[in-house]
Chains A and B, each alone.
Chain A
Amino acid sequence: MGATISRLADKPNLWPWLLLTPLALYLAVFFAVPLFDVAVMSFTEPSLSFANYERVLTGKLYQQVFMNTFMTAGLVTLSCLLVGYPLAYLMNHVTRRTAMLILLLVTMSFWTSFLVRTYAWMVLLGNNGPVVAFLAAIGVDPAPQLLFTRFSSTLAMVHILAPYMIMNIYTVMQKIDPVLIRSAESLGARGWSLFRHVYLPLTAPGIANGCVLVFVICIGFYVTPVLLGSPREQMVAGLIGTQIEEFLAFGMGSAMAIILLVITLAILAVYHRRFGLDKLWG
């Protein structure tokens, strides 16, 4: 066997290329070409110029929508962290059985179509729903408008993306050696300082992973903001959809799509240099 390996190393081996070629060709034709199409359209529709980019980068509407997208994505990422961290912590500090049940719940949520979850939030937050009824019961009447606001779309996105965060933090927390915690405690670390000096640094990779993943997915989110949000607080993906579907403005839609793509890839490239992209989803 050792001989085989050295022989393979000497000669350029054709096998990997042969095995890779079908997929590489497929992705080149059905992935790269459509993507290239978007880039081309952003410069050529309706005529050859930079006009689309000029309009997207200088127009008040577009600036505002991009700003709004980043604000929302930031808010959603932060909320996911605030939601995910305590849960991951809880999962590591209850019996194995309870932890498995919570894990099952999170997995169930993850596997449930996000259209289903978006619909569920419509039911929960509607004027005939339980949240408004609860608010009325404790004396908040009339209840504030919940559905079709930034609040409802943000909440639903947090719910949809939280499993990514939870899974990432839970995995790193699980790997923390209990001996480490006990020895920190024996050295007098308690409560906040234990958390701050032991837990936080040890879980940092999971947090970073979760945050990048949630943020990147969030800035490209289409369905939930369109269904639950307010037209005054659109996100980029929704506006791209409107440009294409309502105005047939393929150039404008493509220019926005390319800008969104560049931003997404820039974030991922930074991540890739530090950690390696395959770790992000794996």
Chain B
Amino acid sequence: MTAFNKRPFGLLAPNRRTFLKASGAALTTTLAAPYIARAQENVLYINTWGGPWEEAARANLFDPFTAETGVEIRTVSPVSFAKLAQQVRTGTYEFDITTLGGSELVRANEAGIIETWNEAPYEGALFQNGVASHAFATVIGHRTDKFPDGGPKNWAEFWDVERFPGPRSLQRYPARILPIALLADGVPEDELYPLDIDRAFASLDRIKDNIIVWWTAGAQSAQILRDGEVDLIGIWHSRFFEAQDTGAPLEMTWNEGEIDRAYWVVAKDTPNAEIARELIKFATSPEPLAGFVMQANYGPLNPAANEYIPEEDAERMPTSPENYAKCFEQDIANLGADPSEISQRFEEWLAT
């Protein structure tokens, strides 16, 4: 901090000696940096979603873990599947642990870029070498100042730009968007999978001109809704509540909410794999997990955590019986096409 204040002045006022000394010192620190980094092995890097997600994780998962084990935890955000894959390619690790959604997990496991598990941290935890942590839903949110008579109640209405005019936003994430596009086109929930890709893109064509932002990070989706850059949005329920809690005039519906599961994974071949496994075991054990999901409004996937969650706290969770009945789950194993190909096609569609 002081350095930030002083250094620029030192550079501009031409005092050669301080200048040389300072740069000399800087160079030495820099050259030594890799070795210093290696010396502090007791740091675990976690790729997080940032914002309230990270606050909740820090308070309930990371800090208690640090207190127990002495391992410092640093975070990198946002969550990026591509970075995970890069790390294995380049051999330099930006993070040791990340959370992935279902379709990414399948991709990651097929590509062999995550560590395998021999025993499950809790019963039923493992799916494709990911440890199930919590459930979240993509729901419809709208601004009540733009739609005083109520907003869209399902994806077909979200697609109805005559009845609900205004700029919209969806996530730049085809595995979540294509099922939604099919629902909007009239496909019943139980016939979604395997996905009819061509029909989904045809459905997306109808709304393309009205989607002005394809959001890529959770914080961004909350910000553009809160600031009124868009009037309608497909958004994670937790991020919606974050935006609503700032006092913005917003409403959402659980109806046709699309549930996805978040899984903890360990980056393949990271030198910190053992501590990473310890952290994941800790993070999915009943009490910490319960604290985390209560603060961040997720649904716990370790059933034992439910014991610690009072009923009224489950109101904002997609897994509460009332909300769950309105939502639908993704069928990741039955997608109907190669996720990478879908992604490429989606990006090409987006840019043309």
Do the two chains touch directly in the complex (Cβ atoms below 8 Å apart)? Answer: yes
List A residues at the B interface (Cβ < 8 Å). Answer: 59-61, 64-65, 126-128, 145, 147-149, 230-232, 234, 239, 242, 245-248
Of B85, B89, B350, the contact of A232 (CB 8 Å cutoff): B350
Bound-state Cα–Cα, A128 to B83, Å: 34
List B residues at the A interface (Cβ < 8 Å). Answer: 80, 82-83, 85-86, 89, 167, 172, 208, 212-214, 227-229, 340, 343-344, 347-348, 350-352
Instruction: Indicate if the CB atoms of B351 and A239 lie closer than 8 Å.
Output: yes
20 other contacts beyond A60-B352, A148-B229, A248-B82, with CB at 8 A cut-off?
A59-B348, A61-B351, A61-B352, A64-B352, A126-B227, A127-B227, A128-B227, A147-B229, A148-B213, A231-B172, A231-B351, A232-B208, A232-B350, A232-B352, A239-B351, A242-B347, A245-B80, A245-B83, A246-B347, A247-B82
Instruction: Indicate if the CB atoms of A61 and B348 lie closer than 8 Å.
Output: yes
**For residue B214, which residues in chain A have a CB less than 8 angstroms away from its CB?**
231
When A145-B167, A145-B212 are in contact, do A246 and B82 touch as well, CB less than 8 Å? yes
Instruction: Indicate if the CB atoms of B351 and A247 lie closer than 8 Å.
Output: no
Interface of B is mostly: helix
When C-beta atoms are compared, the residue in chain A nearest to B166 turns out to be: A142
**For residue B352, which residues in chain A have a CB less than 8 angstroms away from its CB?**
60-61, 64, 232
Interface of A is mostly: loop
Bound-state Cα–Cα, A230 to B211, Å: 10
**What's the A-B contact tally at a CB cutoff of 8 Å?**
51
Bound-state Cα–Cα, A65 to B340, Å: 21
Bound-state Cα–Cα, A248 to B86, Å: 7
13 contacts between A and B (CB under 8 A): A60-B352, A128-B227, A148-B213, A230-B212, A231-B350, A232-B350, A232-B351, A239-B351, A245-B80, A247-B343, A247-B344, A247-B347, A248-B89
B99 CB to nearest A CB, Å: 18
**For residue A234, which residues in chain B have a CB less than 8 angstroms away from its CB?**
351
Bound-state Cα–Cα, A65 to B228, Å: 29
**For residue A239, which residues in chain B have a CB less than 8 angstroms away from its CB?**
351
Instruction: Indicate if the CB atoms of A128 and B212 lie closer than 8 Å.
Output: no
Bound-state Cα–Cα, A178 to B173, Å: 62
A266 CB to nearest B CB, Å: 25
Bound-state Cα–Cα, A131 to B347, Å: 32
When C-beta atoms are compared, the residue in chain B nearest to A249 turns out to be: B344
**For residue A232, which residues in chain B have a CB less than 8 angstroms away from its CB?**
208, 350-352
**For residue B348, which residues in chain A have a CB less than 8 angstroms away from its CB?**
59-61
Bound-state Cα–Cα, A65 to B350, Å: 12
Instruction: Indicate if the CB atoms of A127 and B229 lie closer than 8 Å.
Output: yes
**For residue B212, which residues in chain A have a CB less than 8 angstroms away from its CB?**
145, 148-149, 230
**For residue A147, which residues in chain B have a CB less than 8 angstroms away from its CB?**
229
B80 CB to nearest A CB, Å: 8
Instruction: Indicate if the CB atoms of B351 and A65 lie closer than 8 Å.
Output: yes
Bound-state Cα–Cα, A65 to B344, Å: 15
**For residue B347, which residues in chain A have a CB less than 8 angstroms away from its CB?**
242, 246-247
When C-beta atoms are compared, the residue in chain B nearest to A127 turns out to be: B228
When C-beta atoms are compared, the residue in chain A nearest to B85 turns out to be: A248
Instruction: Indicate if the CB atoms of A245 and B82 lie closer than 8 Å.
Output: yes
**For residue B167, which residues in chain A have a CB less than 8 angstroms away from its CB?**
145
**For residue A246, which residues in chain B have a CB less than 8 angstroms away from its CB?**
82, 343, 347
**For residue A148, which residues in chain B have a CB less than 8 angstroms away from its CB?**
212-213, 229
**For residue A128, which residues in chain B have a CB less than 8 angstroms away from its CB?**
227-228
When C-beta atoms are compared, the residue in chain A nearest to B209 turns out to be: A232
When C-beta atoms are compared, the residue in chain A nearest to B227 turns out to be: A128
Bound-state Cα–Cα, A135 to B214, Å: 26
